[in-house]
Amino acid sequence: MSLFTPNNEINVSRSPFGSYINEKMIYDGRIQRISIEDIMMCVKRGNIFGVDYVILEALSELEFATSRMVTQYLLLKNIDIQQSKVSRRLKFMNGKKIISRFKFDSDEGNPNLRVYCLEKAGKYLLLSRNYKCNWKQSDNTRPIDMVKEICSRNQLLLNYREKIGEKIEKYEINPIYKLRSSGDTLKPHLLIKFKEEYGNETMIFHAIRSYEGYKSKTEELLKKYQEFYEYFSPTKDMYKPPILVLIGELDKHIFEIFKIILKNKIKLKNMEFRYTTDLRTLNENLNKSIIDFQINVEEGKNKVKIKELNFPLLKRE
């Protein structure tokens, strides 16, 4: 039986990739050491085989991922596999310390979230089969807010590839831009470049989580984006400013981000901030998943309303 749940059957009121009160990320992998010789013997005996390497490739690229995300990744590579089998292979490799697993717990209950990531032996296996892998040991020590941001980004990326993959020319995870004025660096979570017949448009995405202290960090981040657009200059890969989309947890959270922008008078040159949320990313109609905020004056007071934007670029053909 497949455990894979299509987007249109996911019925949640809150994203598991959002922040929870007093939330902890708990290591749920193997504690005892295992030698590389033991792992090589697993390979020789056929206990580690073809699909396992693609699963490791998925974790290498996605950094942190749920079993559902890994299954989506494999399906996008035209590997016909059930999530139940992917889960079994993840469990096996977690037991061999080829990968690791983390679970989450909080005062609001456990959102039943498990995420997987590479371990040193997993990188070794990938390199032995000539897979590209830039994993380093410190990647597994990232704080909970960064892990949740990564998962939010991965959900969006995989859904975009699934629904409108034929429009995408390329994507890049964690591109890096040097800011001309301050000399600082800007690292969006994701860049998606669309094919020439779709206007050579480029979209960049940044996930923001609402853990303690996020407002000051968000203000600093958005000012970096302001500088990026202020001094933007065309390149052969990006000859016009990219569309920026901020990924929030919920509509209420993304509204708080909108208020940070208003309070600090942050504006982008020749571009508007666009927004989406984890739950909107699951929308079957991606062209309606991006929003803006509309300010109207009613009875002498400013009223803010969500305005769903129609993005033909994101419409499934």
Please, which pLDDT band fits residue 2 given cuts at 50, 70 and 90? very low
Share of the chain above pLDDT 70, in %: 95
Residue 199: what pLDDT?
A: 87
Can you tell me the mean pLDDT for 147-152?
98
**Parallel, antiparallel, or unpaired for β 274-277 and 243-248?**
parallel
Mean pLDDT across the chain:
92
Q: Which residues pair with 205 in a beta bridge?
A: 190, 245
Q: Alpha helices, DSSP H only, in 165-231?
A: 214-230
pLDDT digits (tens, 9 = 90+) for 5-33: 565 555 567 899 999 999 999 999 888 88
State both tokens at 20.
């929870």
3.90.550, 1.10.3470, 3.30.70, 3.40.1350: which CATH number matches 147-314? 3.40.1350
Domain ranges of the chain: 7-142, 147-314
Please, which pLDDT band fits residue 312 given cuts at 50, 70 and 90? very high
Residue 301: what pLDDT?
A: 75
Q: Tokens 């690229």 belong to which residue?
A: 61
Residue 300: what pLDDT?
A: 66
Residue 8: what pLDDT?
A: 54
pLDDT digits (tens, 9 = 90+) for 207-243: 999 999 999 999 999 999 999 999 999 888 888 999 9
Q: Tokens 């499934």 belong to which residue?
A: 316
Residue 12: what pLDDT?
A: 62
Q: Which residues pair with 65 in a beta bridge?
A: 116
Residue 304: what pLDDT?
A: 86
Per DSSP, 92 falls in state H
Q: Tokens 């989580």 belong to which residue?
A: 209
User: According to the 3-state scheme, what is the secondary structure of 271-285?
Assistant: ECCEEEEHHHHCCCC
Residue 1: what pLDDT?
A: 37
User: How far apart, in whole angstroms, are the C-alpha atoms of residue 110 and residue 278?
Assistant: 18
Strands, E, within the chain: which ranges?
24-27, 99-105, 114-118, 168-173, 177-178, 185-186, 190-194, 202-207, 243-248, 274-277, 291-298, 301-308
Residue 295: what pLDDT?
A: 84
pLDDT digits (tens, 9 = 90+) for 92-110: 999 999 999 999 999 887 6
Can you tell me the mean pLDDT for 190-201?
93
pLDDT digits (tens, 9 = 90+) for 247-291: 999 999 999 999 999 999 999 999 999 999 999 999 889 999 999
Class of domain 7-142: mainly alpha
Least confident of 2-16, 73-87, 166-180, 204-218: 2-16
Continuous segment of H or E residues that includes residue 235:
none
Residue 48 has pLDDT above 80, yes or no: yes
Can you tell me the mean pLDDT for 171-197?
95
Per DSSP, 189 falls in state S
